[in-house]
Amino acid sequence: METAADLMRSDTVEDYLKAIYILQEKHGRAKTSALSERLGVTPGSVTDMLKRLAGQKPCLVLYQSHHGVSLTALGTRQALAVIRRHRLLETFLHEVLGYAWDEVHSEAERLEHCLSDRLTAAIADYLHHPERDPHGDPIPSPDGKLPSTGGHPLSELAIDSPARITRVRLQDETALRYLAQKGIAIGETVQILERSPLDGQIRLQLGRGQKGQTASLGQGVAAAIDVESV
């Protein structure tokens, strides 16, 4: 018979908690439809799992039909532990094994459930306790604290105002490869040269000086890139 402890440790539950946390971070609450899309399962399966999680003691989520779901304090701690393992794995794969930033997410998804606390701590020590992963996402500390995140979306940057890329909120491999080909990278200096008044598409200059590479990005992609002024 499956106990609450068994359920809390299952890969599926960890996937749900992580997805709820990420959606909650964006929208304040995770909707069943958004979870269904993110996890690639039917809305009915999502509803069944949320009811199970909400009925467990200790409780991981607060769920109300047609009103979405949010994490309890315990659920939040569990979600941040999974996110910590995932982002440390991404950083290890990128910095130590030479994976490109578009290759690390899928590998980390497969490995994140396998790491013990001891191995997680050893990886963090080896990497000198990084605060951000290859995409600029903050890595939670062992006690669940997140490093401060500043900046604002690239789509909101004023024209001719230099800024530094701090985070790319995309996981799609094709999109990340495309950005890398355009010269978009964490730490790169950018400024908007031109913004279309019709669809918001922007033309960027990368790097400092007039000889820097230029690239064009749509409004949606630019909104998923965070920058800070320099």
24-66 pLDDT, tens digit each: 988 888 999 999 999 999 999 999 999 999 998 889 999 988 8
pLDDT for res 78: 94
Max Cα-Cα span within the chain: 67
Q: Are 115 and 89 in contact (CB under 8 A)?
A: yes
Pick the CATH number of 152-229 from 1.10.260.40, 3.40.50.10540, 2.30.30.90, 3.40.50.720: 2.30.30.90
Cα atoms in the Cβ-side hemisphere of radius 13 Å centred on 41: 14
Q: Residue 224 pLDDT more than 70?
A: yes
pLDDT for res 3: 47
Q: Where in the chain is the domain with CATH 1.10.10.10?
A: 4-71
Least confident of 99-108, 142-151, 215-224: 142-151
Mean pLDDT of 99-120: 96
DSSP code of residue 215: E
Mean pLDDT of 188-197: 94
Residue 148: which pLDDT band, with cuts at 50, 70 and 90? confident
Q: Residue 217 pLDDT more than 90?
A: yes
Return the CATH class of domain 4-71: mainly alpha
Mean pLDDT of 213-217: 92
Q: Are 161 and 229 in contact (CB under 8 A)?
A: yes
Q: Where in the chain is the domain with CATH 2.30.30.90?
A: 152-229
Residue 133: which pLDDT band, with cuts at 50, 70 and 90? very high
